[in-house]
Amino acid sequence: MSSSTTNTTTISTAGPPSRRNTELAMLVFAVIIPVFAYANAGLALSDEMPSGMLSYGIGLGLLAAVGHLVVRKFAPYADPLMLPIATLLNGLGLVLIWRLDQSKRLAQRAENAGQVFAASAPNQLIYSALGVALFVGVLILLKDHRLLQRYTYISMVVALILLILPVFFPPRFGARIWISIGSFSIQPGEFAKIIIAVFFSGYLMVKRDALALASRRFMGLYLPRGRDLGPILVVWGMSILILVFETDLGTSLLFFGLFVVMLYVATERTSWIVFGLLMSAVGAVGVATFEPHVQQRVDAWLDPFAAFKTGGSDQIAQAMMAFGSGGVFGTGLGQGNSDLIGFAANSDFILATVGEELGLAGTMAILLLYGLIVERGVRTALAARDPFGKLLAIGLSAAFAIQVFVVAGGVMGLIPLTGMTMPFIAQGGSSVIANWALVAILIKVSDTARRPAPTPAPTTDAEMTQVVRP
């Protein structure tokens, strides 16, 4: 801009480069790597190239291309890493699920249980397409992420409805977290995490000063006024209660973490962390005392191999042995026996397949990819210029990070298993779709954050403005 000499704004117009071509280059890798992985698994399993290889490659490539073109058009300054990483994880997840579909052992297991063994990979591909469609939809329809502020209280209601609904549907695998209509079923908790983040961001943005300053000091802690904290406590408390009744521990933990993180960021008061930890301790002890489901999981975490003596679920032990048998370099795709874990091998426990077949190296790579998405999200929050965007970005990133930690930590025996799915990798429609939406919102926020400031208005009356200044 040649007119920069007369520019009086503090924001430079020389914004960061858009990096769209970087994104394209990365996307090529994000498509090629899963295609090679697919070939690898096929060769290992049946000594021939998998028949669906071409269509799989084209399908994944198309999804990536559509995503890229829409980002290029509707969020040109977005962070260049998020779409490729999501594509790569989604693509690898599809390969892993396809690989587990070929397991004779799982087929046998379904047959013994009187069920028809259905391959999950085709469904997962459809869900991925739906996810990318939602990604595209969000990018196109959401002109500016700040529009979401308008829906603060509506999101609160929607989130609560989503959380309450599964109570009215029959439980599956011991948890009431599904809404099923006919053969179609969704897990509303996955969507609720995004909607609750929207509500928290909108509400905290308005109330953060009140929460931070208008508080009484009590035993070294700042206690806010009830009318400021009330709605949040209600939402949080209800979600926890409902989830406890639905025995969906992972999601309760996720919401609690989200709540504490966002409150802390909004108020900048460390006392919230202390307050949050105290509440979580009380909650955890309380739930653990009357909920046998929780006790079982804690016992299984303390001694995974006890299941072989006392009966009960040996999934954790099987997952640990899968990790151990993988060792540093893994057995190679298609050459492990992670299907010994049983029915959850392709959903909650899919990381064990990564561990066994891709080894320590592969698992660390996957964990680092997740870490990278979170890092880009936090960076977006730092760069965002509006408090709502900051809160939304950090909320979504933290939710993502906590979810990855809770699932991976549970599968690896670091913390008690709580039953959630690895974003993008695990089989499950709601999870894939919701996480694509999450990435879309982050991309939108980062686009706004990195977008160069609009060119100042023609400066002909700049002097006049100065005259007005006292």
Partner 1 sequence: MNKPLRRIAIFCGLLVFALLLRDNWIQYVQADELKNHDKNRRVLIARYGQPRGNIIVDGQPITGSVETNGTDFKYKRTYKNGPMWAPVTGFASQAYDANQIEKLEDQILTGNDDRLFFNRTIDMITGKKQKGGDVITTLNGKAQKAAFEGLGDKKGAVAALDPRTGKILALASTPSYDPSKFAGASKKDEEAYNALKPDVDKDDPMLNRALRQTYPPGSTFKVVTAAAALENGKYTDIDGPTDSPDPWKLPLSTQPLPNEGDIPCKNASLRQALRFSCNTVFGKLGDDLGKDKMLEEAEKFGFNEEVFTPVRADASIYPEKMDQPGNAMSAIGQFDNRATPLQMAMVAAAVANDGKLMKPYMIDSLRAPNLNTIEQTDPEEMSQPLSSENAQKLQSMMETVVKEGTGTSAQIPGVTVGGKTGTAQHGVANSKNPYAWFISYAKGDDGSPVAVAVVIEGSDTLRGDIAGGKLAAPIAKSVMQAVLETASDK
Contact positions vs partner 1 (CB under 8 A): 104-105, 108, 261, 264-266, 268, 305, 308, 314, 317, 320-321, 323-328, 337, 340, 355, 359-360, 363-364, 367-368, 370-371, 374-375, 378, 381-382, 387, 390-391, 394, 397-398, 401-402, 404-405, 408-409, 412-414
Q: Are 115 and 84 in contact (CB under 8 A)?
A: no
Nearer to partner 1, 332 or 452 (CB): 332
The residue among 75 and 366 lying less far from partner 1, judged by its C-beta, is 366
Q: How far is CA 103 from the centre of its chain?
A: 28
Checking phi first, is residue 460 left (phi over 0); if not, alpha (psi -120 to 50) or beta? alpha
Residue type, 314: D
The H-assigned helical ranges of 327-418 are 350-383, 387-411
- Decide whether 317 or 432 has the Cβ nearer to partner 1: 317
End-to-end Cα, the chain, rounded Å: 30
CB of residue 272 vs partner 1: minimum separation in angstroms?
Answer: 9
Burial class, 311, CB count within 10 angstroms (exposed 0-12 / middle 13-18 / buried 19+): exposed
Task: Select 26 or 402, whichever has its Cβ closest to partner 1.
Answer: 402
Q: State which residue, 122 or 409, has the beta carbon closest to partner 1.
A: 409
CA angle 443, 445, 451 (to 5 degrees): 95
Structure tokens at 162: 């989503």
54 contacts: CB under 8 Å, gap ≥ 6: none
> What is the chain's percent helix, strand, coil content, to nearest 5?
70, 5, 25
Q: How far is the CB of 374 from partner 1 (least distance, A)?
A: 5
Smallest distance, partner 1 to C-beta of residue 282, A: 21
In whole angstroms, how close is the CB of 438 to partner 1 at the nearest point? 15
Determine the Cα–Cα distance for residues 187 and 429; give it in Å rounded to an integer: 8
Closest approach, Cβ 306 to partner 1, in A, equals: 11
Q: Which is nearer to partner 1, 156 or 391 (CB)?
A: 391
Q: Closer to partner 1 by CB, 155 or 397: give it.
A: 397
Nearer residue to partner 1 within complex by CB, 178 or 272: 272
Least distance from C-beta 378 to partner 1, angstroms?
4
Q: Residue 175 in 3-state DSSP?
A: strand
Query: What is the distance between the alpha carbons of residues 324 and 82, in angstroms, rounded to a whole number?
Result: 31
C-alpha 235/C-alpha 224 separation (Å) is 17
- Of the two residues 287 and 402, which places its CB atom closer to partner 1 in the complex? 402
Q: Which residue, 139 or 352, has its beta carbon nearer to partner 1?
A: 352
In sequence order, what DSSP letters do the residues of 298-343 get, joined into one string?
A: HHHHH-GGGHHHH-S--HHHHHHHHHHHHTTT-S-TT-S-GGGG-T
| Nearest partner of 320 among 297, 301, 292, judged by Cα | 301
> Which pair of structure tokens corresponds to residue 237?
């408390």
User: Residue 420 Cβ, how far from partner 1 at the closest point, in Å?
Assistant: 14
Are residues 431 and 192 in contact, defined by beta-carbon separation less than 8 angstroms?
no
The minimum distance between CB 243 and partner 1, in angstroms, equals 21
If phi over 0 gives left and psi between -120 and 50 gives alpha, with beta otherwise, what is residue 217?
beta
CB of 108 to partner 1, least distance (A): 6
Shortest separation between residue 204's beta carbon and partner 1, angstroms = 10
